[in-house]
Amino acid sequence: MNPDFLVIGAGVAGLRAAIELAEAGGVLVVAKDSLKESSSEYAQGGIAVALSDEDEVGLHERDTLAAGAGLCNRAAVHALVEEGPAAIRQLIDWGAEFDRLGSKLAFTREGAHSRNRVLHAHGDSTGREIARALYHKAASLPSIEFRGYALCTRLLVEHGAVTGAELYDAPSGAAVQVRPRAVLLATGGLGNVFLHTTNPDVATGDGVALAWRAGAEISDIEFVQFHPTALCVAGAPRFLLSEALRGEGAALRNARGERFMEGLHPLKDLAPRDVVARAIVSEMERAGSDHVYLDLAHRGPAFVRERFPRIYETCLKYGIDLGREAAPVAPAAHYAMGGVRTDLHGRASLPRLFAAGEAACTGVHGANRLASNSLLEGLVFGARAGRAMREEAAVAPSGGVLRKKADREVRPTEPGGLSIPEIRRIAWERCGIVRDAESLRAACALLERTSPPGPAGSTSESAQARNMQQVAGLIARCALAREESRGAHFRADFPERRAAFEKHSVVTRDGGIVFQASAEGLAEVGIHRP
């Protein structure tokens, strides 16, 4: 098939965009792993939406802005919460099954929400259920084709516009070029840039690195949310223990069994994630321990097993019975607020390039994402990007070519050469929860080492290592430039929020770092394209 549209990523944002595009032409959806391996699959807590009888869109908007610490794009937030209810109703019409109490949808509360507005599915498998419903819908549309194990290694740029992408087809080992009318980056997050993360292995920041190398603008990449409560057991992955556990009454306790969030924040254990994560780090340092405890034992095994079946079974696998004992937990990298800078219709700063979901930065999350807004963002802005791509296709020339790469072009030297374990340790130790200039400068020096890039047919691992090193370097550079503490970005040497930095960082490959205020008209006119 010669696709009219290329969607890179098969999570919620990519699938929702593909569905929107299907009526306008052929759509190729590619994923670097299996089509079901994405961050969406691992989203436990739920999806926030103002649909309950006690809630209002305006309250959801207010809570999102408060969590964003002064950096939310208000137009983006308004679009998210205003279009959210219809997006959920449509998803239900497509077969998504959310948990209910009788005939009514069941809502719970998570940190920094003022109302019970978080829907969940099968207890703690919300992302998986949403992705299932979207995939089922997309697969029913004959104009959508899927290809797994195809890693995008490069965006093709001609005369300042994106004209296609180069893929590394793992089964054949061949480099393949795709030239559609428009390209969407829906590659998900970057958590695996860090040593400890709740993200799946595929979350290596590929979309950000691809866009940056092509010359697109990257925004707010220094804002990385560290989830406070990941399972911390020797030999176990840093499995996410959802904030919904605390929403259902789980308490954070230190080594002495004390509830240490008392007095630190009015919301106590349900304080914003950056506050809780730093409090946990402080407690761990005080006790000389690598963890604190999350205690839901008072609810009993039956409740925990029914409400959180996936979490319960995973913890049990590693010797922790959540219905009877507290689980050892520690923070881990979880979500990127920044990414490829877009307007509110997914348009990046390069013509014919779009981004949606965690790979994109619309400004909707500001400096700190409100819990459970990410799946909603994927639905709302995935659909918006799909509609905008249809409009772009009406005027863009058709590439329509899927072909093996015929030549090997010479590329400039760029950061690369560190191993994946080295990159992850540098990012965790020097660009983690608490930062300072000395550590960030050291990170920049280490991550900006250069080596000749691999050939076009380089392995998937080497391509991902290059992406991870470049993304970690961008995080370090922008974190060093932001001389304040705001939201998820905390500088020990600049512990206060500063009005001069109530702006978005914007970085490009050739233009350095600048700070720009939000443009409230961004959604209507599109971002500036040089």
Q: What span, in angstroms and rounded, lies between the C-alpha atoms of 29 and 137?
A: 14
How many helices (H) and strands (E) the chain has is answered by 14, 25
Quote the CA–CA distance of 337 and 505 in Å, as a whole number: 12
Angle between helix axes 437-447 and 420-430 (nearest 10 degrees) is: 160
In degrees and rounded to multiples of 5, residue 28 shows phi and psi of -110, 120
Please identify every residue annotated as catalytic: 273
Side-chain-side CA neighbours of residue 284 (13 Å): 18
Contact 433, 331 (CB under 8 A): yes
Q: What are phi and psi of 474, to 5 degrees?
A: -65, -40
DSSP 205-248: -HHHHHHHHHT--EESTT-EEEEEEEE--TTS---B--HHHHHT
- DSSP designation for 480: H
- Cα gap 203→383, rounded to integer Å: 22
Q: How is 376-412 classified by DSSP, letter by letter?
A: HHHHHHHHHHHHHHHHHHTTSPP--EEEE--------
8 Å CB contact between 515 and 505? yes
Q: Is 48 helix (H, G, I), strand (E, B) or coil?
A: strand
Question: Which CA distances in Å does 250 have to 25, 118, 315, 319?
Answer: 49, 17, 15, 19
CA distance 267 to 248: 14
Give the integer Cα–Cα distance in Å for 239 and 236.
Answer: 8
Question: Using alpha carbons only, what angle is made at residue 366 by residues 361 and 368, rounded to the nearest 5 degrees?
Answer: 110
Provide the 10 A C-beta neighbour count for residue 437: 14
Tokens in use for 314?
Answer: 């995973």
Query: For residues 44 and 311, what is the distance between their CA atoms, to the nearest angstrom?
Result: 9
